Amino acid sequence: MKAVKKIPLAGPVLNGNERKYVLDCIDTGWISANGKYVNEFESTFAEFCGVKHAISCANGTVALHLPLLAYGIEPGDEIIIPSFTYIATANAIKYCGAQPVLVDSEENTWNMDPNKIEEKITPRTKGIIVVHLYGHPVDMDPIMEIAKKHNLFVIEDAAEAHGAKYKGKVVGSIGDVGTFSFFGNKIISTGEGGMITTNDSELAAKMKLLRGQGMDPNKRYWFNVVGYNYRMTNLQAAVGLGQLENIRWHLDQRRRVANAYIEKLSPYANLLELQPEMAWAKHSYWMVSILLSENVKAERDEIMQSLEDDGIETRPLFYPMHHLPPYYEERVYPVADRVSARGFNIPTNATLTDEDIEYICNRVIYHCSNNI
């Protein structure tokens, strides 16, 4: 059985004012880091998340690095993170010379397990970075309680979770800081770009200072600190604003796609499982992820290759940090190990038709069924 077309895993949909706003930047000459769209994108995103401050920046990794710098993280400090995440979460800590301390995942959500955090806290621990993996919120209440008890800050890595909610609160507004990515495959995109959210005005001022080479906001070209060129351009912000104006549509389309997958694949629990949506959560479905059951004897990569042959693009779930050379540990993190080894993402984007989803599900079921 051959696919009539290649079905991509992800891709941006630019169906709003993106082109209009970008052309305005070009026509007016405001294409660099200064311009009205930067401010408009930031203020609109802050309103969307329900926070006082939103600070745009060059990408999602920078969005993680800036708050760590603003908190004064330095060599010898430790930051607790999930092992099962994208490497940027750990790298931002290393940029400061500090050490990521890894925690295993929950069985149900695949997110950081709150019950395994306190055992990793030492006198050197300064903060916790949670990751709302693939768009599903972390169970934040117990983590915020632990942080308060031990005087730790909490950063929400919401790179994959625009618009996701925890107990009715938009992610990025629950911890001390939220960080977002606008890479081309995200729910909304600026090509490359990031955003930081916070209600802490002092911290926001520090991050803005560091973002712009450390230039004194009241004395042009005067620098009291070593800063970074981490700014977003007006062109990127123009695209971002056009995307953000349509974010409800983008989120609705993700949910449409996810619900169709759930309806068609849930009856095959003997073959696979999907990342669930907990009762207290609203999943943003950046990616729909499949976890092969032990009944499927084929390796994950074999199933993915069969789907590739069918014209369906997939990708493996992240490798846990403790498997990667910069952060390698010999210890086992059972949940992260299992989910990573048996899981993969299937196409999740707003362009998918009902026929596409039907075809993808049929091929997934076929290949899994033939390998039991």
Rounded CA-CA distance 227/215 in Å is 8
The answer to whether residue 79 scores a pLDDT higher than 90 is: yes
Of the residues 226, 245, 264, which one is the last residue of a structural domain? 245
The answer to whether residue 11 is domain-embedded is no
* Mean pLDDT of the region 182-197: 97
Tell me the percentage of the chain whose pLDDT exceeds 70.
Answer: 99
Using CB atoms within 10 A of its CB, is residue 75 exposed (0-12), middle (13-18) or buried (19+)?
A: exposed
Of the residues 213, 245, 277, which one is the last residue of a structural domain? 245
The answer to whether residue 1 scores a pLDDT higher than 90 is: no
Residues contacting 355, CB < 8 A, separation 6+? none
CB atoms within 10 A of CB 235: 21
| Per-residue confidence band for 141, with pLDDT thresholds at 50, 70 and 90 | very high
| Per-residue confidence band for 5, with pLDDT thresholds at 50, 70 and 90 | confident
Query: Which strands form 53-57's sheet, in the order they lie side by side?
Result: 53-57, 194-198, 177-181, 153-157, 125-131, 78-82, 99-103
Contact 127, 71 (CB under 8 A): yes
35-67 pLDDT, tens digit per residue, is 999 999 999 999 999 999 999 999 999 999 999
Contact 176, 154 (CB under 8 A): yes
248-261 pLDDT, tens digit per residue, is 999 999 999 999 99
The answer to whether residue 80 is domain-embedded is yes
What's the pTM? Answer: 0.96
Whether 274 and 318 map to the same domain: the answer is yes
- Tell me the CATH number at 357: 3.90.1150.10
Whether 337 and 217 map to the same domain: the answer is no
The answer to whether residue 251 is domain-embedded is yes
Count how many domains the chain has.
2
Instruction: Quote the pLDDT of residue 2.
Output: 52
Residues spanned by the domain of 212? 18-245
Q: Which residues are registered as beta bridge partners of 343?
A: 291
DSSP reduced 3-state for 272: strand
Instruction: Quote the pLDDT of residue 303.
Output: 98
Residues contacting 302, CB < 8 A, separation 6+? 371
Mean pLDDT across the chain: 97
Strand positions, DSSP E, the chain? 53-57, 78-82, 99-103, 125-131, 153-157, 165-166, 169-170, 177-181, 194-198, 272-274, 281-282, 288-292, 315-316, 343-346
Instruction: Quote the pLDDT of residue 285.
Output: 98
* Mean pLDDT of the region 77-83: 98
Residues contacting 44, CB < 8 A, separation 6+? 241, 244, 245
Rounded CA-CA distance 229/223 in Å is 13
Nearest CA-CA partner of 31 in 256, 233, 329, 211: 233
332-367 pLDDT, tens digit per residue, is 999 999 999 999 999 999 999 999 999 999 999 999
Instruction: Quote the pLDDT of residue 3.
Output: 44
The CA-atom distances, in angstroms, between 43 and each of 20, 40, 75, 91, 241 are 19, 5, 34, 28, 10
Residues contacting 264, CB < 8 A, separation 6+? 357, 358, 361
Whether 212 and 327 map to the same domain: the answer is no
Whether 212 and 314 map to the same domain: the answer is no
Whether 25 and 155 map to the same domain: the answer is yes
Of the residues 223, 245, 267, which one is the last residue of a structural domain? 245
Comparing 5 with 24, the larger pLDDT belongs to 24
The answer to whether residue 339 is domain-embedded is yes
Side chain identity at residue 257, one-letter code: V
Rounded CA-CA distance 257/315 in Å is 17
Whether 49 and 167 map to the same domain: the answer is yes
- Tell me the CATH number at 134: 3.40.640.10
307-329 pLDDT, tens digit per residue, is 999 999 999 999 999 999 999 99
Whether 235 and 252 map to the same domain: the answer is no
Characterize the bridge pairing of strands 194-198 and 281-282: unpaired
The answer to whether residue 5 is domain-embedded is no
Contact 136, 163 (CB under 8 A): no
Whether 64 and 78 map to the same domain: the answer is yes
